[in-house]
Amino acid sequence: MTDIESRIDTSRPHTARIWNYWTGGKDNYPVDREAGDRIRELHPGIGEYAKADRLFLGRAVRHLAVQEGVRQFLDIGTGLPSADNTHEVAQRVAPDARVVYVDNDPLVLAHARALLVGTPEGATDYLDADLRDVDTILAAAAKTLDLSKPVALMLLGVVIFVEDDEESYGVVRRLMDALAPGSHLVLSHTVTRPDMPDVDEAVAFWNEHGTPKLTQRTPEAVARYFDGLELLEPGVVSCSAWRPERPAPDVAMYAGVGRK
């Protein structure tokens, strides 16, 4: 058994594997599917959040690569590989794009090494690190990315795992402070809203049975991550409402893109 395999716990449901299950992937275990089905009973629309978040990623990366000329992406909290990963979207329109993925989930890392292969013109690298390990991430990313030039910092559904508000805001600020002017923050976050009580119930179930535990924040609290940045239109909104190709129902996953 490899070191990575020894770190994979199949006795408890894990968020990356449940997300994979909801988006139609096969990299999950019975415990994940059981928890995923139970959460979907509590909140039937939850599976759509995963799909909406993935579609938002694609739209945001395409915009940054095409309209903003961004050629470097630092994707922290990668999740399990699926269709249209960051490097695939970016390198489809800019073959010379360079992408560094960061995750501390052993199953994600095992699949990343096998699946996330980029174009010959660009570069794709992977790092085993926690979001809080800012110095480690920046030092390792600098081996692939030129941090003196704009970088898109991708934080999709990952700061929800930092419970303390000030710590989570501080981590994002430290990362953005280290990036060059013209860099962008792309962030999504599960929210709590008075008109979506079933979301709170689903999150409570998850935090009792799953790992890692997550923290909901209000839409206003999510917008704080973009303090000091120039928010691109339409601001911090349901990720399904961020420049959609066609109208879609709101989901309790809010997102935005900000320019440094």
Count how many residues are written for the chain. Answer: 260
Residues 131, 135: Cα–Cα separation, whole Å: 10
How does pLDDT run along the chain (260 residues), one tens digit per residue?
Answer: 445 555 666 667 777 777 778 777 777 888 888 887 887 777 777 767 778 888 999 999 999 999 999 999 999 988 766 668 899 999 999 999 999 999 887 777 777 765 667 778 888 898 989 999 999 999 999 999 999 999 999 999 899 989 999 999 999 999 999 999 999 999 999 998 877 777 788 778 777 876 678 899 999 999 999 999 999 999 999 999 999 998 888 888 899 999 99
Residues 94, 243: Cα–Cα separation, whole Å: 21
Q: Is residue 146 within 8 Å of 121, Cβ to Cβ? A: no
The Cβ of residue 44 has, within 10 Å, a number of other Cβ atoms equal to 11
22 is written with which tokens?
């909801």
pTM, two decimal places: 0.86
